[in-house]
A = this chain, B = another copy of it.
Amino acid sequence: MPARGDHEARRAEVSEAVWRVLAAQGFGGLTMRAVAAELGASTGLLTHYFRSKRELVRYAYEIAELRTSGRVRQPRAAPGLAALRAALADVLPLAPEMVVMSRVWISFWDAALGDAELGASQRARYERWRGRLRGHVEDARELGEIPGSADTGDLAATAGGFAHGLVVQALFDPDRFPPERQLALLDGFLESIRPGRAGSPGSARAPGR
């Protein structure tokens, strides 16, 4: 039996190999064989760590969660719309690290749509994320940045939807969606949820239209 230190070092190597496979091929390409090849080891060795593909996938999910929560984030912003902007920018593929992360999470969507347990995890992840966005929307409402009549839950879902849909488009077409354009689209979206945009031709329209 190897010494404990060896075991932990080996475990860290396995984690690294799992992440490299995820980054290159997503959850769809995550197999015992692919991880073993990445490690330069036999699939037999891997069965000491994961008894099944299912265990490997769950472990990979944990690694993706850890990497995601440990990623470089947007600078801390003032409460309200500025904080909402930072939270949404946090998920956009603005830098190589987040391109990889986004690619991994899109592949996880696929994996999770075919697996009830992973699907429940993803559902809960979304609900937590919308909860955080909603907090920023509530602050924005309190600060008078958005109408008092706004449904904060709906706005959080809309904002999250907008950001994730932009992630997908940007991943497939980085030339048409460079970081500056992603941020410009985000600012345009945030501007649209503010009332009474200056200079818009409709701003003189009678209420009720």
A positions within 8 Å CB-CB of B: 25-29, 103, 106-107, 109-114, 119, 122-123, 126-127, 130, 144, 147-149, 151, 154-155, 157-158, 160-166, 168-169, 171-173, 176-177, 184-185, 188-189, 192-209
The reply to whether A171 and B113 contact each other, CB–CB distance below 8 Å, is yes
- Give the shortest distance, in Å, between A183 (CB) and chain B (any CB): 12
The reply to whether A200 and B114 contact each other, CB–CB distance below 8 Å, is no
Interchain residue pairs with CB less than 8 A apart (6) = A29-B114, A109-B109, A110-B110, A161-B163, A161-B165, A161-B168
The reply to whether A185 and B154 contact each other, CB–CB distance below 8 Å, is yes
A144 to B203, CA, bound (A): 12
Q: Which residues of B contact A25 (CB under 8 A)?
A: 114
The reply to whether B106 and A110 contact each other, CB–CB distance below 8 Å, is yes
Residue with the highest number of chain B CB atoms closer than 10 Å, among A28, A111, A196, A205: A196
Q: Which residues of B contact A148 (CB under 8 A)?
A: 201
Q: Which residues of B contact A168 (CB under 8 A)?
A: 109, 161, 164-165
Q: Which residues of B contact A176 (CB under 8 A)?
A: 127
Residue with the highest number of chain B CB atoms closer than 10 Å, among A27, A189, A204: A189
Contact of A106 among B109, B154, B171, B197 (CB under 8 A): B109
Contact of A209 among B112, B126, B198 (CB under 8 A): B198
